[in-house]
Structure 1
Amino acid sequence: MWHYFPEHYMWSYQIVRMFSQAHFGGGEVNEILEAAGNITLGDTDSFHNAWMGMGNRSLAVANEALDKEQIETARAAYLRASNYIRTAEFFLQPDDPRKIPTYLKGVESFRKGAEMLDNPPRAVEIPYENSFLPGYFFEVPGKKDSPLVVMFGGLDSTAEELYFGPAQLLKERGIALLAVDGPGQGGALRLNHIPSRYDYNVAGTAAYDWAIQNLDVDANRVGIMAVSMGGYMAARSAAFEPRFKACAIWGAVYDYQSVWSKRPDNHPLAKILQHVVGAETMTEARQKLDLFNLKGVAEKIIMPTYIIHGEDDRQVSVENAYNLYNHLTCPRWLKIVPKSSPGSAHCQVDNVTETYEMYDWLKLQLNA
């Protein structure tokens, strides 16, 4: 993976992540490079300010275009702005007074842009315990009883972000998407104060039940998919919800505790992890992660399962993919993007085209 900041992998990763979404309207290459150029290495405020500045600039373009009834230009600028602002929020600490306003501004920008799409997504609220999980339903226009993929993001993803790639790639293949902020993600965490949980299948089943009761989809052609830390969530959901017909794991996580055992307490994502799992300290967070593993769980998955993982993944080692694959007893597929190849980084942000085979696999499994 190319590093904009050779000394800072995590910041470089976020820039490459933006590049991977630019193709789908989540940014413009030269705007991304300009924002990156305004970041001072080691200065987290400069990271926030650089992306917020670019987000505000895109919003100004969008608002001016909307005033002139230039819908296509406004739509594209609102969507770019939403992703820049999402990135601006990324490293803000949970108690930073800028965090929630930044998050809300990004969501608002996304919704303004999305409502101008030819087929706007439907914002949804999935009942969950005494609250709800927010999300979006991206339908396949003109297709009744369509197949559906329920998708969760990762540790730091939002449901809005899943438009920039997954929603569009699935739609091209005739598959609808229910993008969900699960426990510990997006609005479920920030607004509804719902932390993550090891038994993520509770959220997976809630999403499945709501979908078949409220959406025009085929209950017998519903798959589960997730990315990054979501690789654990998808597998856990599949293991305890046999009504899913296929499981796509975009970055495997067999044992999340082992992932964090190699990271120091001052890791750039440490405060995010504490917030996600509802822990006051890293010691408490690590204790909670003891249950976040698929030992004795992977064997319960019965539906066809596809895993893709990069051999150069510096966040979650490729051993997680091999461990999960070796413990599966269902029909299984494993794609390892080879070392030093484009796409070998975490979740293929360095070459998202390596994931297209996964979407083709879903099309086949769900008979789209």
Structure 2
Amino acid sequence: MWHFFPENYMFSYQVQRALTQSLYGGGETNEVLDTASKIEVGNLESFHKEWLAQGRRSLSEANQALDEGRTISARAAFLRAANYLRTSEFFLLPTDGRKFPTYQSSVAAFQKGAALLPTPPRRVEVPFEGSTLPGYYAEAPGGAGGPLMILFGGLDSTAEEFFFGPAQLLNERGISLLMLDGPGQGGALRLHHLHHRFDYEVAGTAALDWALANLPMDPQRIGIMAVSMGGYMAARIAAFEPRFKVCAIWGAVYDYHEIWANRPDTHPLATILQHIVGVDNMKDAREKLSHYNLRGVAEKISMPTYILHGEDDRQNPVSHAYRTFNDLTCPRTLNVVPASSPGSAHCQIDGFTRTFPMYDWIQKTL
């Protein structure tokens, strides 16, 4: 992975994230690089301040274009603003009074921009244990009655950001997408205070039942996928919900407790982990993660399963992909992007074109 900040992997990763999502409307390359150039490396306050400033500039551009009736330009600027504001919220502590308002502004900008699309994604609320899982349904052109994928994110993602890549890549292959904030994610966490859980099949089944009852899709062509930490979640859902017809693991996680056992309490993502599982210290967080593994689980998956992983993944080692693949007893495909090539980093954030074979496989299999 190319590093904008050679001495700071996590800051560089977020820059790459925005650059890659820019290909699908989630930014503009030179705006991203200009913003990054103003950040004091390692300074979380500087990170927040500069991304927030760029988000507000893009938001002002969007509002001015909208006032003048230039709706296409307004749409593009709203969507860029949404992703910049999401990035600015990323490292804010859960106790920081700016975190929730920044999240809200990101979602509002996304929804204003999405509403100006020729075919806007539909906002949805999936009932879940007395609350709801918020998200969006992006129907493929002519996709009514066709295949559907349900997508959950990972440790730190939001449903909105999956418009910038997955929704478009699936839709152009004739596959509709239901992208959701599950427990511990996005609005499910920030709005409804639903924390992450190891038995993610409960959320997967709720999403599937709602889709079958409410969306115009073919029940014989529905799949599950998830990214990053979601590599554990997708596998867990597939293992205990055999009604899914395919499973796509975008970044494998065989044992999430093991991953965090090798990280210090001061890891940049530690506060995010504590927030999503609903504790205030790493000892309790690691205890929660003791159940997050695929031993005795992966072999229960019955539907065709695709694993995509980068050999240079510094967050979830490639060994997790091999271990998950070797435990599978279903039809299986493993795609490891070779080291030192674009797409070899965590979840192909450094080269989204390396995800295309996964989407092609989904299209062919469904």
Distance in 2, Cα, partners of 1:314 & 1:141: 37
Question: How far does the alpha carbon of each residue in 1:85-118 deviate from its partner, in whole angstroms, 9 at most, with x for none?
Answer: 0000000000100000000000000000000001
Counterparts in 2 of 1:132-151, with a 5 A limit?
132-151=132-151
Distance in 2, Cα, partners of 1:245 & 1:342: 30
For 1:361, the equivalent position in structure 2 comes to 361
Whether 1:15 aligns to 2:15 is: yes
- Unmatched segments (≥5 aa) in structure 2: none
Shift of 1:365: 1.0
Shift of 1:134: 0.3
Distance in 1, Cα, partners of 2:284 & 2:292: 14
For 2:65, the equivalent position in structure 1 comes to 65
Q: Please tell me the residue identity of whatever aligns with 1:325.
A: F
Q: SS in structure 1 opposite 2:303?
A: coil
Counterparts in 2 of 1:202-281, with a 5 A limit?
202-281=202-281
For 2:103, the equivalent position in structure 1 comes to 103
Q: SS in structure 2 opposite 1:254?
A: coil
Distance in 2, Cα, partners of 1:143 & 1:341: 35
Counterparts in 2 of 1:182-197, with a 5 A limit?
182-197=182-197
- State whether residues 143 and 176 of structure 2, in contact with CA within 8 Å, keep that contact through their aligned partners in structure 1: no
Normalising by structure 1, we get a TM-score of: 0.99
Q: Percent identity between the aligned chains?
A: 63
Question: How far does the alpha carbon of each residue in 1:19-74 deviate from its partner, in whole angstroms, 9 at most, with x for none?
Answer: 11110000000000111011111221110011000000000110000011101000
Q: Please tell me the residue identity of whatever aligns with 1:240.
A: F
Q: SS in structure 2 opposite 1:80?
A: helix
Q: Please tell me the residue identity of whatever aligns with 2:49.
A: N
Whether 1:123 aligns to 2:123 is: yes
Question: How far does the alpha carbon of each residue in 1:208-247 deviate from its partner, in whole angstroms, 9 at most, with x for none?
Answer: 0000100111111100011100111100000000000000
For 1:24, the equivalent position in structure 2 comes to 24
Q: SS in structure 2 opposite 1:211?
A: helix
Shift of 1:123: 0.5
Report the more deviating stretch, 58-67 or 139-148. Answer: 139-148
Distance in 2, Cα, partners of 1:34 & 1:255: 38
Q: Please tell me the residue identity of whatever aligns with 1:293.
A: N
For 1:294, the equivalent position in structure 2 comes to 294
Q: Please tell me the residue identity of whatever aligns with 1:364.
A: K
Question: How far does the alpha carbon of each residue in 1:289-311 deviate from its partner, in whole angstroms, 9 at most, with x for none?
Answer: 00000100000000000001000
For 1:165, the equivalent position in structure 2 comes to 165
For 1:333, the equivalent position in structure 2 comes to 333
- Unmatched segments (≥5 aa) in structure 1: none
For 2:350, the equivalent position in structure 1 comes to 350
Q: Please tell me the residue identity of whatever aligns with 1:25.
A: G
Distance in 2, Cα, partners of 1:211 & 1:120: 18
- State whether residues 11 and 42 of structure 2, in contact with CA within 8 Å, keep that contact through their aligned partners in structure 1: no
Question: How far does the alpha carbon of each residue in 1:101-148 deviate from its partner, in whole angstroms, 9 at most, with x for none?
Answer: 000000000000000001001100000001110010001233321110
Residues paired across the two proteins, number: 366
For 2:320, the equivalent position in structure 1 comes to 320
Distance in 2, Cα, partners of 1:42 & 1:219: 48
Q: Please tell me the residue identity of whatever aligns with 2:252.
A: A
Q: SS in structure 1 opposite 2:54?
A: helix
- State whether residues 343 and 351 of structure 2, in contact with CA within 8 Å, keep that contact through their aligned partners in structure 1: yes
CA RMSD after TM alignment: 0.6
Whether 1:177 aligns to 2:177 is: yes
Shift of 1:280: 1.8
Distance in 2, Cα, partners of 1:357 & 1:124: 29
Distance in 2, Cα, partners of 1:349 & 1:143: 28
Distance in 1, Cα, partners of 2:18 & 2:143: 31
Normalising by structure 2, we get a TM-score of: 0.99
Distance in 2, Cα, partners of 1:244 & 1:295: 21
Shift of 1:11: 0.5
Question: How far does the alpha carbon of each residue in 1:233-290 deviate from its partner, in whole angstroms, 9 at most, with x for none?
Answer: 1000000000000000110001001111111000000000000111121000000000
- State whether residues 183 and 195 of structure 2, in contact with CA within 8 Å, keep that contact through their aligned partners in structure 1: yes
Distance in 1, Cα, partners of 2:130 & 2:215: 22
Distance in 1, Cα, partners of 2:328 & 2:170: 25
Distance in 1, Cα, partners of 2:124 & 2:64: 29
Distance in 2, Cα, partners of 1:78 & 1:259: 36
For 1:52, the equivalent position in structure 2 comes to 52
